[in-house]
A and B are shown apart, each in its own frame.
Chain A
Amino acid sequence: MSRAGALGFLVRRRLANRLRSAREKLRRPKYLIGAILVGLYFGMMVFARIASELVRVPRLATGAPPAVGGTAGAALAAVSPAEAPAAVSSTGPLLALALELGFPVALFLLALWAWAPVGSGPRIHPLGFEKADAHLLFPAPLARWSLLAYRMAAIQIPLLLSSFLFGFVVRRGGTLASVAGFQVFLNVLWLHRVSAALAHGVPSEAALWRRALAWAPGVLLAAGFAALVMTANLDPTALAGADPVAEVRRASESGLMPWVLLPFSAIAQTVAARDGPILGHGSAFLVALAILGMHIVWLVAVRTPFQETCLTSAELRDEVRSAIRKGRFRPGFLKNRGRPVRTRPFGLAPRGTATMAFAWKAILAGGRTWTPGYLVLALIGAGVSGRVVGALDLGVPPWFVPILVGVVAAMIPANLLLSPSREGIGTIDTMALLRPLPVRGHSVVGGIVLGETAVGLVWLTLIAAFGVGWGAALLPPGELGRLAAIVAASLVPAAAVMLLATSLRASIVLLLPTVGRVEIGPEAIGSNFLAMIVRSLGLSVLGGPVAVAALAGGVLVGVIAGMPAGWIGAGAAATLVLLLESVGLVLLGGRFYDRFDITAERL
């Protein structure tokens, strides 16, 4: 009892001190204005909800729980309150089917994925213990049950905030039933991930019965999946016929599918609850709570190396957070961490003036994603997008748009999403190292801008080379020269797009450095909300000319493809604006750097 009291004390005091910190933050205008804005937003939502209740027009089934098909559905429906509205949808049979069947199937597949004996995804999240928990509580005389109860208690308030967010914001007009549904759903989801993660942690030398018990839920899921596949009774002829939705519905209500999906359907029903009292969807809640209880019992009963897995997970999570913050998180990060860096081609290394050194740094950082696998993906993306856009009649040669769009489309995800997306922030994040160097601010910022643009151009060149290669293989010989000219010309919009992306990112970091900081907590929601508004305004001013330039660059390519020659002037003017803005950005950023307005601490 005294230990339960101790953990209660811990949860209580942490919450109280968090609230106190939040209150102190509200003394700063940024947080205060943000909180007022968010308060107004939520207040208006609640007001709108009350107003709609007062003038309520009877609705049919917009919030009805999705029906569970077949006998299992009947089993659930039999204990459902009689006044629960029937599952009739005014949004069309396809959407109705998606709600009824899609969500449970998606949950089922997610569960199956979490229990698959491969991959490292679930390892990052077992129980969400922090390092402090591991360092201070694990060596304390606490049973596994106490630790689990403590974490469950500690996460209820964050989960409740999420539930309110989902219940009131995402599903506008939701009631407490919806919020409660999300609360149960998130708890089940959370415990499920924990269970799956701990099953992965069972040592191979453990006793056979322990391993069997640990993996039993996963085996059940796999058996369910096999049953689904083997008993699926879809008729291909009917699927290709006039009413494929009816065929899918029929198949979903026959065989083992309703029974396999029963627990997932129950969880889905709790989330779908919108109208009626909290326990209005009684049977679904009961089933969902039973599933929640089974997870807890499993976690307590199975003797997996609980603390070790949780500590390892906490350390991994710290690594991932740090990598994300520094812009170094990449696909396969967990798998590849600790491996030696690949040898750089041609002995590339930062050299030259400070600006060029920083540019090199960005290029080399981008090079971490220049893998054959991603290049293949980029080429597939280029081909698909080129085919799609090329099918449209835009009045240009039929091979022009596919190549242009394909090249740019392949370049954008590589640079905006994967390669050096936060390299600039990463550079500024290492201010403590840069400060002692005899380097002026504009050199640093210029290097960031130049480097990020150059990375895009390098990518584009690679893709363009492939494009020319394809063209050489596919086009008649007479068209080859024209193709090469167009691919080369597409470097102009590509550079514009890269400068646009760099400009947007750099302006965020340089003008609103605190935006990049990850802050968690209710008080930070308002601040981030405010920052988003300010950032949007700032970007519309900063990014506008760049966007115009990018568009004009595209038009310039069109000129080469045979459009009116008058567009050349517009393209040149826009490019000039782009260059001026880039220079301005570099000088402005350099001044901020020199005046110590950008510091690692502020980030």
Chain B
Amino acid sequence: MGFVGPNGAGKTTTLRILAGIFPPSGGRASLGGVDLVRDPVGAKRRLGFVPDTPELFAHLTVAEHLELAGRLHGVEDRDARAERLLRELEIDDRRDHLPDSLSRGMRQKVAIAWAFLHAPDVLLLDEPLSGLDPIGIRTAKAAIRARADAGSAVIISSHQLELVEAMCDSILIIARGRALARAPIRELKDRVREDATLEDVFFQVTGGAGPESAPSEPPSELPSDPDAP
């Protein structure tokens, strides 16, 4: 699912709540049916999270990052999985490098590998492709798609609407902390007009570009989300 909204809409905050970093100020937050407040550890076992501009441990090599991820999640065959992931994301030649010697794109790939290693049920990806070169974007997109095909629930937050359109089946649009629309992308586009792009849908739903101009209520002709935060 794509997760989009204007700057300041609350996307990163929402993802941080779902990642158990921020406490929800109201309502419920759960992952795979497990309540994040009542059983945070149980909920996080199902989670893989890639934050925006992820930071890595400065004194841990790439391979050690994945070793740590495997240990934290109790993955038995972590070495084999790490090896596969390093090859899949094309960073196997950097396994013994420290983050300082990696480019931004490489660090992003390590963060993605960290989130994928334990094959989580839920993947929260905040701008997962930022900093990647075209080859890296293709590689990462394929890797994300593969996880979704394998049954993981994937939520991608991004400002790149083309990317969201290409990768996601459905979309959630928020503004000012409120869900404005949640539906399959095709359905939303059809409701706007026959040849509409996701960008057209976005502007139609949010009513403009900035958080100030976003409507406080979802447009009536578009499907809204009653369970949204």
Residues in A lying within 8 Å of B, measured CB to CB: 2-3, 5-6, 9-10, 13-15, 17-18, 21, 130-132, 134-143, 203, 205, 305, 307-308, 311
B68 touches A6 (CB 8 A): yes
Using CB atoms, name the residue of chain B closest to A133.
B57
Which B residues contact A (CB, under 8 angstroms)? 16, 19-23, 25, 40-42, 44-45, 47, 49, 51, 54-61, 64-65, 67-69, 71-74, 98, 111, 114
- A contact residues around B72 at 8 Å (CB): 3, 6, 137, 140-142
Query: A141 to chain B: which residues have CB within 8 Å?
Result: 41-42, 44-45, 72-73
Please report whether the interface of chain A is mostly helix, strand, loop or mixed according to DSSP. Answer: helix
Cα distance A308–B22 in the bound complex, in angstroms: 5
Which 5 interchain pairs have the tightest Cβ spacing?
A: A6-B71, A131-B55, A139-B49, A139-B19, A17-B59
* Cα distance A3–B114 in the bound complex, in angstroms: 16
Q: A10-B57, A141-B72 are in contact. Are A311 and B25 (CB under 8 A)?
A: no
Q: In the complex where A17-B98, A18-B59 touch, is A9 in contact with B21 (Cβ < 8 A)? A: no
Task: Say which residue of B56, B71, B74 sits within 8 Å of A136 (CB atoms).
Answer: B56
A245 to B141, CA, bound (A): 76
- B41 and A136 contacting across the interface, CB-CB below 8 Å: no
A79–B84 CA distance with the chains assembled, in angstroms? 61
Q: List 12 other contacts, CB 8 Å, given A132-B57, A138-B19, A140-B73.
A: A2-B71, A13-B59, A131-B55, A135-B51, A136-B68, A139-B44, A139-B47, A140-B44, A141-B72, A142-B44, A305-B23, A307-B22
A136 to B60 alpha-carbon distance, docked (Å): 12
Q: In chain A, what residue has the closest Cβ to B20?
A: A139
Nearest A residue (CB) for B23? A305
B40: chain A residues within 8 A (beta carbon): 143
State A143–B67 Cα separation when bound (angstroms): 20
Contact of A135 among B44, B55, B68, B71 (CB under 8 A): B55
Contacts of A136 in B (CB 8 A): 54-57, 65, 68-69, 111, 114
Q: Taking A139-B20, A139-B49 as contacts, is the C-beta distance between A21 and B59 under 8 angstroms?
A: yes
Contacts of A9 in B (CB 8 A): 67-68, 71
Docked pose: A34 CA to B161 CA in angstroms: 54
Do residues B21 and A139 form an inter-chain contact, with CB atoms below 8 A?
A: yes
Cβ of B57 and Cβ of A205 under 8 Å apart?
Answer: no
Given the complex of chains A and B, what is the CA–CA distance between A21 and B59 in angstroms?
Answer: 9
**Contact residues in A for B111 (Cβ distance below 8 Å):** 135-136
Task: Give the residue name and chain of the B residue nearest to A311 (CB).
Answer: B21
Given A10-B57, A141-B44: A134 in contact with B73 (beta carbons within 8 A): no
Instruction: Give the Cβ gap from A127 to chain B, nearest Cβ, in Å.
Output: 14
- Bound together, the chains give a CA A557 to CA B20 distance in angstroms of 67
A142 touches B21 (CB 8 A): no
Contact residues in B for A143 (Cβ distance below 8 Å): 40-41
The answer to whether A5 touches B71 (Cβ under 8 A) is yes
A135 to B12, CA, bound (A): 12
Q: Complex Cα distance A134/B111, Å? A: 13
Select one of B21, B47, B61, B68 contacting A308, CB under 8 A. Answer: B21
Contact between chains at A17 and B21 (CB < 8 Å): no
Closest to B73 in A: A141
Is A138 within 8 A of B60, CB to CB? no
Q: Could you jot down 18 A-B contacts, CB within 8 Å?
A: A3-B71, A9-B68, A13-B64, A14-B57, A14-B60, A21-B98, A132-B55, A134-B21, A136-B69, A139-B21, A139-B44, A139-B47, A140-B44, A141-B73, A142-B41, A205-B25, A308-B16, A308-B22
B9 to chain A, nearest CB (A): 19
CA distance A18 to B20 in the complex (A): 30
Q: Is the CB of A138 within 8 A of B20?
A: yes
Q: In the complex where A140-B72, A142-B41 touch, is A14 in contact with B59 (Cβ < 8 A)?
A: yes
What is the distance, in angstroms, from B6's C-beta to the closest C-beta of chain A? 19
Instruction: Report B-chain residues with C-beta under 8 Å of the C-beta of A135.
Output: 51, 54-55, 111
Residues of B within 8 A of A17 (CB): 59-61, 64, 98
Chain A residue nearest to B44 in the complex (CB)? A141
A136 (CB) vs chain B CBs: closest residue? B114
Residue of A nearest to B17 (CB): A308
Within the complex, the shortest CB–CB distance from B91 to chain A, in Å, comes to 17
**Per a CB cutoff under 8 Å, which of B19, B25, B68, B114 touches A203?**
B25
| B74 CB to nearest A CB, Å | 5
